[in-house]
Amino acid sequence: TDRKKLHTAPVGQVFRLRPFHVLIATGGGYAGYRKYEDYKLEQLEKKGIEVPVKLASEWEVALYKSVPTRLLSRAWGRLNQVELPTWLRKPVYSLYIWTFGVNMKEAAVEDLHHYRNLSEFFRRKLKPQARPVCCLHSVISPSDGKILNFGQVKNCEVEQVKGVTYSLESFLGPRVCTEELHFSQAPPGNSFQQQLVTKEGNELYHCVIYLAPGDYHCFHSPTDWRVSHRRHFPGSLMSVNPGVARWIKELFCHNERVVLTGDWQYGFFSLTAVGATNVGSIRIYFDQDLRTNSPRYSKGSYNDFSFISNNNKKGIPMRKGEHLGEFNLGSTIVLIFEAPKDFKFHLKAGQKIRFGEALGSL
């Protein structure tokens, strides 16, 4: 008789499922499951066991895209810019160094207290002698990383990893105006790949370099060339680690990317910086107008910017090894270029490479 009345609300008012919450839960859970699967594949590869290719279905890709990676990447970027107390810097950075195997002996400033926030630590510079630039070869690695694939482009398809390809035209977008690049006009019936090759007897080559979170995050010019045009594709920010690249066909065409095109002594040359989860920020040092990972964008859209003008008819000249840009964390660099048939890569798929080391030569 002295019991107090217990007032309860309907279950629907206390716990109301919303579509956004369902997407977050299912998408996040599935992303975690994929990370575990990637880990198992890496362990098999280390043992020398060949893993058969198993591509994601359309619903799996859609489910992965439901994870708000762009929003999370912007939040991560803001968190990186928060200044850490001096006493907290060493423990935080030391944990990151231990987790990803960072070699701080190569850093221009080894004192961890010097870096005010995570963003400064990610963008740390190296000692001048840490990455000597190879002068004997025509193309060098623009960054530290892992070689995922390389070779000739065939049938307008480029390999992400062995056995998984993407469309060359979807990746680069429509061909840039020939007047801007001073290229000869290709016959209209030619394929997209043939239109990029400007000199008779040349072939189109590609090289894919994956930058892990512990790698040096800046990238440099891989050769002496002239940058004429920039094309920015807004898009998803899915992970680009080798496991996901093996799983999602045309992954690089889904993700946000910045395509720099121009020419070198043998014809067409391009360097593409591909964004990834927590890498919403792609910076090109000479391009102050570039803004990546904007809150809103139109699906399938892209925007162009020409470095050719009345006052600057030669574009942006880049010297081999010169600073070109940086990522906020790890990501991927894709080189697609024209060269004579006797061009040879000095690489092995899966090998680790450092900025300045040889990629290939004639």
13 within a domain of the structure (yes/no): no
89 within a domain of the structure (yes/no): no
Percent of the chain surpassing pLDDT 90:
35
Taking 60 as the threshold, does the pLDDT of residue 248 lie above it?
Answer: yes
221 within a domain of the structure (yes/no): yes
pLDDT for residue 331? 86
pLDDT band at residue 231 using 50, 70 and 90 as cut-offs: very high
320 within a domain of the structure (yes/no): yes
Six-digit token string for 196:
């990029």
15 within a domain of the structure (yes/no): no
Taking 90 as the threshold, does the pLDDT of residue 10 lie above it?
Answer: no
DSSP assigned state of 154: B
pLDDT for residue 14? 42
35 within a domain of the structure (yes/no): no
Of the candidates 355, 316, 226, 207, which has an alpha carbon nearest to the alpha carbon of residue 272?
207
Query: Which whole number is the average pLDDT over 118-123?
Result: 85
Query: Which whole number is the average pLDDT over 341-360?
Result: 91
3-state percent helix, strand, coil for the chain, nearest multiple of 5: 30, 25, 45
pLDDT for residue 11? 47
Of 48 and 334, the structure prediction assigns the larger pLDDT to 334
Longest Cα pair distance anywhere in the chain, in angstroms?
Answer: 99
Domain count, the chain: 1
Of 294 and 167, the structure prediction assigns the larger pLDDT to 167
Chain centroid to CA 193: how far?
22
Active centre residues (catalytic): 144, 220, 331
Query: Which whole number is the average pLDDT over 21-42?
Result: 58
Query: Which whole number is the average pLDDT over 221-239?
Result: 92
Residue 87 and residue 93 in contact, taking contact as beta carbons nearer than 8 Å:
no
Six-digit token string for 163:
């056995």
The CA radius of gyration of the chain, in Å to the nearest whole number, is 23
Q: What is the pLDDT of residues 184-228, one digit of tens each?
A: 555 555 788 888 998 888 999 999 999 988 888 899 999 999 999
Taking the alpha carbons of 261, 262, 265, 267 in that order, is the dihedral positive or negative? positive
Q: What is the pLDDT of residues 249-301, one digit of tens each?
A: 888 888 889 999 999 999 999 999 998 887 668 899 999 889 888 877 777 78
Q: List phi, psi (to 5°) of 186.
A: -80, 150
318 within a domain of the structure (yes/no): yes
CA-CA distance, 11 to 20, in Å (whole number)?
19
Domain that holds residue 148: 139-175+192-361
233 within a domain of the structure (yes/no): yes
CA-CA distance, 182 to 197, in Å (whole number)?
13
Q: Which of 30-34, 112-116, 196-200 ranks highest by mean pLDDT?
A: 112-116
First to last CA, the chain: 96
Six-digit token string for 286:
């000479």
Taking 80 as the threshold, does the pLDDT of residue 36 lie above it?
Answer: no
